[in-house]
Amino acid sequence: MFLFDKLFGKKEAAPTTGLPATTPGAASARPQASAPGTGIRHDPRLIEALKEDHRLLLDIYTAIDAARRTEDLLSVQTRLGQFRMVLQDHLLKENVRLYVYLEHVLRGDSVSHELMHEFRHEMDGIGRVVVGFLSKYREIGIHPELAAEFATDFAAIGQALVARIRREEDTLYPMYAPLA
């Protein structure tokens, strides 16, 4: 249940900070409205959590690259498993908490709504490619013959990852705002 509570924003009692409700970082005195037609509320920490996922994915990518360069294929395999877990968690957060919220909130803004849909569909395609890559190299540590193709595939995944992260953080994430 903890995973679902975390994903769907189960509210815990806010600690008393002694700060007035208007102070940045203080809990809001009024409850957040849900996106129309859903129980999903704006989470002021979501975008920072998604950006932290991006940093973690890039850190793991860098560690994979270092292991690849030293030909430590067992470490590459282990790090690919870590990458898979962080990526799946990130995509689930985006799909459930970001895209569903934006789907409902942006209905009245056709341009932003369409842009959000383009991001979502593009990510579906990128996700399939990355999951295919991770599946292909899941056992690279015990199948060193996979190493010959790995460097090229890995570089392509890295380029796509960096470009996507930049676009999400510059264009998509700013669309995520509390209801007025």
Read off the amino acid at residue 101.
Answer: Y
Tell me the C-alpha distance between 8 and 3, whole Å: 8
pLDDT in tens, 16-65: 333 333 333 333 444 556 666 767 889 999 999 999 999 999 999 999 99
Question: Quick one: fold of 42-174?
Answer: Four Helix Bundle (Hemerythrin (Met), subunit A) (1.20.120)
Asked if residue 104 has pLDDT above 60, the reply is yes
Which tokens sit at 138?
């899941």
Please indicate, yes or no, whether the overall pTM of this predicted structure exceeds 0.75. yes
Question: Are the beta carbons of 109 and 152 closer than 8 angstroms?
Answer: no
Tell me what pLDDT residue 39 has. 76
Please name which of 109, 96, 108, 91 lies closest in space to residue 41, comparing C-alpha atoms. 96
What is the percent of the chain with per-residue pLDDT over 70, rounded to a whole number? Answer: 79
CA 34 to each of CA 2, 9, 41, 88: distance values in angstroms, whole numbers, following the listed order: 21, 11, 4, 25
Which tokens sit at 156?
């392509």
